[in-house]
Each structure stands twice: as structure tokens, then as C-alpha cells.
Structure 1
């Protein structure tokens, strides 16, 4: 492997968890070659992890390098290293390689700044607890944004893809455009479609990310897990979903599985309905917090496992809790901004 532009793009994709298996293997071999290589890798990784406010969702390695690493590197930052040799190696010539590395870094930064087109203005739609909204994107796609959620998108979609970034929950009705796929960036995955409708639930404090397809076909692309343990099953690069299927991805392991589901139930919130089907009370409590903008506490820890099956169509929070209390399983105390739920709890 030589220090040419493809190497740096591969390294950027490696940091972004978007490298292919072959690219990861080549970089792992390069890391295993010398301590100097590992020193450079750790140095750049530290630079990568420094917080930098992005102008756009990261779409490719060049953009990633430009925004995350390039602006932070100076000539003093580049250690003396030896690359993984290809063909013959000239002892004592390592300084030439180090100079080439510094030159490529600085030259690449300059080329990116001169040749990359001006980045479109980033738009941000954000909902607080207890609020929901509907957004029309520049391509005509419609988005229903749930409470406690954030959507970032450019003022105009340019280039080969229409990219947005989501934190929280949203329902997408994407305008069909086979020449410009629609891509949603999540913290743990990417979603790619041409034109379809689907729901995405990706709250940072939830244990799982869910993507549910109502119409069309969706490609769910999990980020590469930092380390694959022997107990974890092999993870496909892409999971394809069709109507009435959803993918559930664990946020800790990044493992994802597909399951059959009634898609309209999971997307009912956009029509002002809450549908729970054997939903643990811990998840119900989080949903009520976001939906009504109150703090919800379960008085007993074993209440968290109790399943709830119910549908609420536009009811107020007092009405919802009165209906739950009539089951005899739950009692509650509701003040201005606080809800405490009591009950016998569940052991299963």
C-alpha cells in the first residue's frame, strides 16, 4: 500500500466505519507492519475524534477528510513513519516517505479547497418534547418529524445523492428519483431508497434503532462494528426491506435483524395515534414523555417489563392514564409536568 490519495480516502472511510471488508483488511495489515504506522494511525484517530461541527452530513471520504481531519493537521503533526512496503524497500529512505506523506496531506487539503464545490446551506428542523411537525424537502419529499427529533438537510439537493441526517423519529414519503438516491444518515447506520415511504426511529437513548417500510423497498446499511466477537452472527453489509417489514438494530453491538410487522401501526403516530402492541412499559414511558412533554417515572423497576397493548387516538394525557387505570394494573399521579406510574410490576 502506498501513500496515494486512495489510501487516505480508505483511511477516512475506516474512521467513519464505512470501509469495505477488503479496505479494513488492508489497513489492518498496514497497522500490523510497524509501530510507526500505528503511531500515525493513533495520532490521526485522535484528530478525527475531536469535535468539529459539520456543514453537511458526511457523504464520502473526501468530504469526511476535508471536514474532520484536513483542517486540523499541520506539518508538525505528521510523525516519521514507514509505510507497508510494496516491492523493494530502500533502507534509510524512510525520510523520503515521511516527506511525501506531509506533502500529500498538505497538497490534498489545498486541492480539496480549490476543487470541491461550495457546500449548500444546511437547514435544521428540530422539535422539542411534546411537539411534532411536517416538512417538505427541496425535492418534494415529505417528512413528518416526531417530538424530541432533529433533521438536517441542505437547502438544495446537489450531486449524485439526496442526503439528510436524522436524530430521533421521522416518517418519510420520498419523491421518486432513480438518478439521485435518497440517503438518511443515522448514528449507527445509513438508509438508502429511490422513492418509498417508511418510518425511522433512532433516538440516542433507546436501546435499538427501528426502520419500518410502508411502501416500496429500503436498503438498511449498518455501520461496521469496531470489533466482531465470536458470539456475534455474521452481519450482512446491507439488509433489504419490503412493506410490512422492519429492521431492529441494537445500538451497542450494531447487530441488525429483520422482522415482519404491521407497518401502519408503527407509523400511526404521524396521524396523531399511539399504538402499543405488547410494548414494555419502559418504552411506553419514554413515548409518553416525548409525546406529551412531561417527565415520566415508573415507581417500581419491575414495572418496566410489563407489556401494554392499547391504541390511543388523539387523547389527552389524563384521558390516556384514566384508561390505563381502568385495567386495574396501573395507578398514577399526574401533576403539571410529572407523571408517576405505579402498579404490581411484572416478573416475566
Structure 2
């Protein structure tokens, strides 16, 4: 941490300038957004299409996060619990009213199996849960108790559908 010597992280659709802090960046090629949150200190997020004016820069402080949506080229700042944003470091997965398709991407990254939604309605379910070192089957089992959906785990993929769609 040295506020006098910030370092810069260049992302595909923006730049994060670190100003003496601890933080988290979520930026995956298969997602439609970048997310940056701050645990301590301060960071500046500069969208790739920024003009260089200061008003293009989003400054974040403790327990704030910015989500930059590629499709709209807009940044949204909201409060967050930074400890949850960095929970993955300790093997913990935290989902708070998260769309199931986003959870699917997290599960793909953590378990190495492609998540395939067989119904669009299941993709939109909003789910909440916190898991520490659980298996993929345990996570899906517990999530399915809060919102009814069906799932099947194969060798290299996970099939998910709403209750009215038949699994192969």
C-alpha cells in the first residue's frame, strides 16, 4: 500500500487505478460487466471509452463497488460488503439475490463443468446462499430447496431446468 505510487490494472473495457488500498476486481471474458469493490483505501475506475475528463472517472472508497455494463457503457456505484466480495479467497462462495445464470458462471469457474440452462425461466431465478468448501452437488441441492429447479450433473456439464422442463 503506497498512495504515492499507485499501480494501474488495464482491463478489456476499463482501467482500475489503485490508490493505496485492498480491493477486488471481477472481470471475466464470458461476462457482460466488470465489477470492482474496495475493502480498504480508495480506487479509481476509468471506463475504456473515457475521454480523459475527471468526470469519466469513478472513485470508490470502503464498501463501495462499481459495476460497468458493457452493453450500456455505463457505470453504477452501489454499497457492498467487501468481505463477501473477497470471500472466494478463502474458498467461500456468496450469492446475494444473484441471477442463476451468473451463479452458473461462478460454478463453472469453481468446478470446471459447463453449466447449461435448458429453460430460460431457470436462468432468471434470483438466488441467495453462502457456501464454504461445499461440493457442486451440495450447492445445487441447497439452492434447489429455496427455489424449485431440477439439475443433473454429468461428467463435464451440469444441466439445469425449471420444474416443468424434463431433464434428458
Q: TM-score, normalised by structure 2?
A: 0.88
Any residues of structure 2 matched to 1:313-328 within 5 Å, and which? 313-327=132-146
CA deviations on 1:206-256 (whole Å, 9 max, x unpaired) are: 111100111111111112269xxxxxxxx9321110111000101133211
SS at match of 1:341: strand
- Which runs of no fewer than 5 residues in structure 2 stay unpaired? none
Q: Residue 223 of structure 1 contacts residue 254 of structure 1 at CA under 8 Å; is this kept in 2?
A: no
Give the 4+ runs in structure 1 shifted more than 6 A: none
1:213 aligned counterpart, secondary structure: strand
Question: Which residue does 2:25 correspond to in 1?
Answer: 200
Residue of structure 2 in register with 1:211 after alignment: 36
**Post-superposition CA distance 1:72-129 (Å, at most 9, x none):** xxxxxxxxxxxxxxxxxxxxxxxxxxxxxxxxxxxxxxxxxxxxxxxxxxxxxxxxxx
Q: Which of 315-324 and 212-221 deviates more?
A: 315-324
Shift of the 181–282 alpha-carbon distance from structure 1 to 2, 3 Å rule, reads: same
Q: Residues 301, 184 of structure 1: CA spacing in aligned structure 2 closer, same or farther, 3 A cutoff?
A: same
Q: Secondary structure at the match of 1:336?
A: coil
Query: For the residues of structure 2 that align with 1:265 and 1:202, how far apart are their CA atoms?
Result: 17
Report Cα offsets for 1:13-41 as digits up to 9, x if no partner: xxxxxxxxxxxxxxxxxxxxxxxxxxxxx
Deviation at 1:179, TM superposition (A): 3.7
Of 57, 67, 89, 1:270 maps to: 89
3-state SS in 1 of match to 2:5 = coil
Q: Number of residues paired by the alignment? A: 162
The counterpart of 1:297, out of the listed 116, 126, 132, is: 116
Q: Which runs of 5+ in 1 are unaligned?
A: 1-175, 227-234
* 3-state SS, counterpart of residue 89 of structure 2: helix
The alignment yields a C-alpha RMSD, in angstroms, of: 1.9
- Does the Cα contact within 8 Å between 1:303 and 1:343 map onto a contact in 2? yes
Normalised to the residue count of structure 1, the TM-score between the two structures is: 0.44
1:187 equivalent in structure 2: 12
Structure 2 distance, partners of 1:179, 1:328, is 49
Alpha-carbon contact 1:218-1:241 (below 8 Å) kept: yes
Q: How does 1:218-297 map to 2 (within 5 A)?
A: 218-224=43-49, 236-297=55-116
Is 176-185 or 275-284 further displaced after alignment?
176-185
Larger strand proportion, structure 1 or 2? Answer: 2
Instruction: Give the Cα–Cα distance (whole angstroms) in 1 for the partners of residues 5 and 81 of structure 2.
Output: 29
